[in-house]
């Protein structure tokens, strides 16, 4: 992997021309060709930054970033975060990791390596180039939670040896590494615990519930509800989440961990019924076995994010579903 030369100062980035919050930066986004990563790249480019997108395209697609490839402020690097990389950057967003249960369970040992080695490589780089570094952690660190809603002070209820453990424990270990680099090496970290987020650019075969239900309803197939469908999740629209990422990265009041998500909570049966209503058609609901260790309830306490970021989600589930359905129409 090449070492990029330090960025020459731009005339328009001189003090006095730009408020510091608007100064263009060079920003690395790992996992930048994925669902969340590609929306983040779009946002950073439109804010005037230079973006390096590093991705091995395991669950990401060039299609998600094809509109950015000819932009001189955007660079794509096909690379695996498990292997070290060197770039001169001002900030790092570490999003590289499959997020859907079927995808992260496809090669569970690789999933743990991606979380742990990816974190070590991003933190080592951040330490060397003195970059602020963001970790995309997850509500899965709370496991099958016994505290509801989940606040950042809850330590979680995680099975260390189950099918979801490669993801949950990998992400927990990554958080540990972030906080140890922060304490030991003064690395400037931001750790976000992301709750279920959905929107355009999810893969049609992603396996997560929102895209599964929408694709099934659009094809006129039955919607597959796992178990009795009474388990709950709280769904955040992607645009709301990306706004929170940017605010979190900009502020200096907290390094996290910080819950980011939409606290409106739904059962999977409610989600299935709403999806059928919005898509139209005659799809029915069928029940399939519940995967092991499937959390029974999940809802973020976002008081800390509201206070420190002056942020709350703006897009309600029915509106976000309509926008996501519009994206999938014609693609399935």
Q: Given the rule CB under 6 A, which residues bind ligand UDP?
A: 100-101, 196, 208-209, 212, 224-226, 231, 233, 268, 291, 294
Residues from 183 through 222 that contact ligand NAD (CB under 6 A):
194, 196-197
Look at residues 178, 217, 174 and name the one whose alpha carbon lies nearest to residue 324. 217
Which residue has 């496809």 as its token pair?
Answer: 106
Q: Which does 13 bind (CB under 5 to 8 A by kind): ligand UDP, ligand NAD, none?
A: none
Minimum CB distance to ligand NAD smaller for 36 or for 276: 36
Q: How far apart are CA 180 and CA 202, in angstroms?
A: 33
Minimum CB distance to ligand UDP smaller for 188 or for 294: 294
CB-based burial, 121-153: b 16+ in 10 Å, e otherwise = bbbbbbbebebbbbbbbbbbbbbbbeeebbebe
Minimum CB distance to ligand UDP smaller for 52 or for 225: 225
**Candidates 104, 106, 154, 167; catalytic one:** 167
Rounded to the nearest whole angstrom, what is the least distance from the CB of residue 309 to ligand UDP in the complex?
A: 23
Q: Does a cis peptide bond (omega within 30 degrees of 0) precede residue 176?
A: no
Rule CB under 6 A: is residue 245 a binding residue for ligand NAD?
A: no
Q: What φ, ψ does residue 99 adopt, rounded to 5°?
A: -115, -20
Task: By CB under 6 A, name the one of 27, 45, 56, 200 that touches ligand NAD.
Answer: 56
Active-site residue, 167 included:
yes
Q: How far apart are CA 237 and CA 249, in angstroms?
A: 19
Minimum CB distance to ligand UDP smaller for 186 or for 277: 277
Rounded to the nearest whole angstrom, what is the least distance from the CB of residue 227 to ligand UDP in the complex?
A: 6
Rule CB under 6 A: is residue 302 a binding residue for ligand NAD?
A: no
* CB-based contacts of 166, cutoff 8 Å, min separation 6: 104, 105, 108, 109, 111, 112
From 92-100, 209-217, 246-254, 307-315, give the range in contact with ligand NAD by CB under 6 A. 92-100
DSSP 3: P
Rule CB under 6 A: is residue 57 a binding residue for ligand NAD?
A: yes
Task: By CB under 6 A, name the one of 27, 29, 44, 81 that touches ligand NAD.
Answer: 81
Task: By CB under 6 A, name the one of 45, 122, 136, 191 that touches ligand NAD.
Answer: 136
User: How many residues bind ligand NAD, per CB under 6 A?
Assistant: 27
Maximum alpha-carbon separation in the chain: 62
Question: Three-state SS for 286?
Answer: strand
* CB-based contacts of 5, cutoff 8 Å, min separation 6: 88
Residues that bind ligand NAD (CB under 6 A): 30-31, 33-37, 55-60, 80-82, 95-99, 114, 136, 138, 194, 196-197
Catalytic residue numbers? 167
């Amino acid at each position: 992997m090449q070492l990029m030369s330090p960025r020459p100062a731009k005339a328009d980035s001189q003090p006095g021309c730009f408020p510091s919050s608007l100064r263009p930066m060079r920003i690395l986004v790992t996992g930048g060709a994925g669902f969340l990563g590609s929306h983040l790249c779009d946002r950073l480019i439109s804010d005037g930054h230079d973006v390096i997108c590093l991705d091995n395209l395991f669950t990401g697609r060039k299609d998600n970033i094809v509109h950015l490839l000819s932009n001189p402020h955007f660079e794509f690097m096909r690379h695996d975060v498990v292997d070290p990389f060197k770039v001169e950057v001002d900030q790092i967003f570490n999003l590289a990791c499959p997020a859907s249960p079927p995808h992260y369970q496809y090669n569970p040992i690789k999933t743990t390596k991606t979380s742990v080695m990816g974190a070590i490589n991003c933190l080592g780089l951040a330490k060397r180039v003195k970059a602020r570094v963001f970790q995309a952690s997850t509500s899965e660190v709370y496991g099958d939670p016994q505290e509801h809603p989940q606040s950042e002070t809850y330590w979680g209820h995680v099975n260390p040896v189950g099918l979801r453990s490669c993801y949950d424990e990998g992400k927990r270990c990554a958080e540990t590494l972030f906080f140890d680099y922060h304490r030991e090496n003064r690395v400037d970290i931001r750790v976000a615990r992301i709750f279920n987020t959905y929107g355009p650019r999810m893969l049609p075969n992603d396996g997560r519930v929102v895209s599964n239900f929408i694709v099934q309803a659009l094809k006129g197939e039955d919607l597959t509800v796992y178990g009795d469908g009474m388990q709950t999740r709280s769904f955040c629209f992607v645009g709301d989440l990306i706004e929170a990422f940017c605010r979190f990265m900009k502020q200096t009041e907290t390094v996290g961990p910080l819950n980011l998500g939409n606290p409106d909570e739904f059962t999977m049966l409610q989600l299935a019924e709403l999806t059928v209503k919005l898509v139209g058609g005659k799809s029915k609901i069928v029940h399939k076995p519940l995967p092991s260790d499937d959390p029974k309830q999940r809802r973020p306490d976002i008081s800390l994010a509201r206070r420190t970021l002056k942020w709350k989600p703006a897009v309600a589930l029915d509106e976000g579903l309509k926008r996501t359905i519009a994206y999938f129409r014609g693609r399935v």
